[in-house]
Amino acid sequence: MNAKKIRRLMRKYRLACPVRKPNPYRRLQGAIRIGRSVENLVNRKFESRGPGAVLLTDIAYIPLNGKFCYLSTILDACTKQVSSYAMSESLEVDFVLELLERLVQNHGASLNKETVIHSDQGTHYTSLKFIQLVESRELRRSMSRRGNCWDNAPQESFGGHMKDELGGEIPGWTSFAGVKVSIDHWMDYCNKDRCQ
């Protein structure tokens, strides 16, 4: 059958073929993206450079009353200790910048020009503000390959273990303050008592 016959039959039987439009959010995300991804300096060699040399970062989504709150952490790839963390009720870039400022404030003496901050290619880590802050602190940026969670495996695993261990508390959380108290206790336990 040719196209004319198909159109005639569609008109006769009042058939309509829905046309899928492009996702506007995907196009918007592409427009916002700075496109400043960098090469993967870590190459899954998380522990070979020693403590404090490779710092992994990511954002975990934590369920709260049918919505989410967000936890951003910086994990030492060698020791598996949390060097810094910040929580937020929104996904704005500011809480990731706050996380980096806390890292510099608490561990500034141990950071140097060889220290690598490794992340995925999310919009937070390709934002101009994040790039400027990392470069102003004279740290090196590294990024996982696109869509490859194995390049940041210890950080991804950390988020999963945290959600598993706090799983019993998650349904009881009713406020952001309550979540923050639980996360603070768990981070303290993770850095001081939990076996790695």
Instruction: Please count the structural domains in the chain.
Output: 1
Nearest to 44 by CA among 159, 169, 144, 193: 144
- Does a structural domain hold residue 114? yes
User: Which residue type occupies 72?
Assistant: S
Tell me whether residue 20 is in a domain: no
pLDDT tens, residue by residue, 128-183:
889 999 999 889 999 998 888 889 989 988 888 888 888 888 888 889 999 999 99
Position 120 in a domain? yes
Cα–Cα distance, 42 to 115 (Å, whole number): 11
3 state DSSP class of 165: helix
Query: How far apart are alpha carbons 153 and 148 in whole angstroms?
Result: 9
Terminal C-alpha separation, the chain: 66
pTM of the full structure: 0.77
pLDDT (tens digit per residue) in 75-101: 999 988 999 999 999 888 888 999 999
Residue 15 lies in a domain: no
The domain in which residue 100 lies consists of 48-192
Residue 8 lies in a domain: no
- 153 occurs within a structural domain: yes
- Supply the CATH number for residue 71's domain: 3.30.420.10
Strand partners, 119: 143
